[in-house]
Amino acid sequence: RPRVLSGIQPTADSFHFGNYLGALRQWVDLQRDHQPFFFIADLHAITVEQDPKVLRERSLRAAAQLLAMGIDPARSSIFIQSQVPAHAQLGWVLQCLTGFGEARRMTQFKDKSAKQGEGAASVGLFTYPVLQAADILLYRPHYVPVGEDQRQHLELTRDLAQRFNSRYKKTFRLPEPYILKATAKIADLQEPTRKMSKSASSAAGIIDMLDDPKVSAKKVRSAVTDSGSEIRFDTEEKPGVSNLLTIHSALTGTAIGDLEQEYAGRGYGDLKKDLAEIVVDFVTPFRERTLELLDDQAHLTSVLQQGAEAAGAVAEATLRDVYQRVGFVAAA
């Protein structure tokens, strides 16, 4: 079975619909006929300051959400990144293979560092994509299911893999991004030209999977829509409405064209009201299941430990090859 790998940061109390539709739903689907490794990226989370207690809680909440969504530990290795030291170890080797200018071109760093001023951003935030390359390459995956915002990081990953392979010896597989076009960029409800983001969106712009369903419904009903009144999919002219249609279509399985027909002659309010109900029906059981899982922390931590053991075995084997090829002396 082809391997897949992906990760998500524990940088909020809840995942949002961008995470779910852009990436996590594909994780669940790919389990059927792939060999998956999925991790909670706590090493990445500390590229910006985190409260230790909150970070720990959020990592466990992240795990509970993944299980509630349908990640099955019998099929997938699910683990916490910091529990597999090979990530940081390969990260260092790859940093030494990355050009400074090459790292500087990453647009996510430009966006994320702009807020605090580049000088105040951590070096970790700068080298984040290189650690991400290590996360991926350790498992030699065929596919990496992510949202559109990760495409550039995936290209860097492939470049680094190729560079290592040609400088030393073929070690890494060149992974393909697995990005579903329809849901690759779910927009912020209040600023529909920007992506919904855990750390950058305002509370009103983000639909959290674990929010009180009533709150989510209200956010959908208050989403920014566009001038005019026609319900039509057009991301240039009507980014707000198009985003609502995208979410509707993804949750109901109705083609966008069919939705356009269904709403012909009706107003934005109708679309928002219907979508609010669809969202409520979706999040209500998800939230209950997550809270149940969170009640049994012993079970959660044991699933994560098993995941870390399985992942660690694969990762350490790759790291041993890398260390040997780079010229490090093996421990006796």
- 323 φ/ψ sector (left φ>0, alpha ψ -120 to 50, else beta): alpha
Site size with ligand ATP, rule: CB under 6 A: 20
Residue 18 marked in a binding site: yes
The one among 73, 91, 129, 147 contacting ligand ATP by CB under 6 A: 147
Minimum distance between the CB of residue 5 and ligand ATP, rounded to whole angstroms?
A: 11
Q: Are the C-beta atoms of residues 51 and 57 closer than 8 Å to each other? A: no
- 214 φ/ψ sector (left φ>0, alpha ψ -120 to 50, else beta): alpha
Does residue 19 touch ligand ATP according to CB under 6 A?
yes
Q: Which residue has the tokens 């927009």?
A: 187
Catalytic residue numbers read 112, 195, 198
- Read off the tokens for 326: 């780079």
Tell me which stretch binds ligand ATP (CB under 6 A): 17-25, 75-83, 113-121, 223-231.
17-25
Residue of minimal CB distance from ligand ATP? Answer: 22
Residue 148 marked in a binding site: yes
- Quick one: 63 or 196, whose CB is closer to ligand ATP? 196
Q: Angle at the Cα of 145 (from 275 to 49), degrees rounded to 5?
A: 85
Max intra-chain CA distance, the chain: 76
The one among 3, 4, 5, 9 contacting ligand ATP by CB under 6 A: 9
Residues in the chain: 332
Minimum distance between the CB of residue 265 and ligand ATP, rounded to whole angstroms?
A: 30
Cα separation, 93 vs 168, in Å, equals 13
The one among 106, 128, 129, 149 contacting ligand ATP by CB under 6 A: 149
Residues forming the site for ligand ATP (CB under 6 A): 8-9, 11, 18-19, 22-23, 146-147, 149-150, 184-186, 195-200
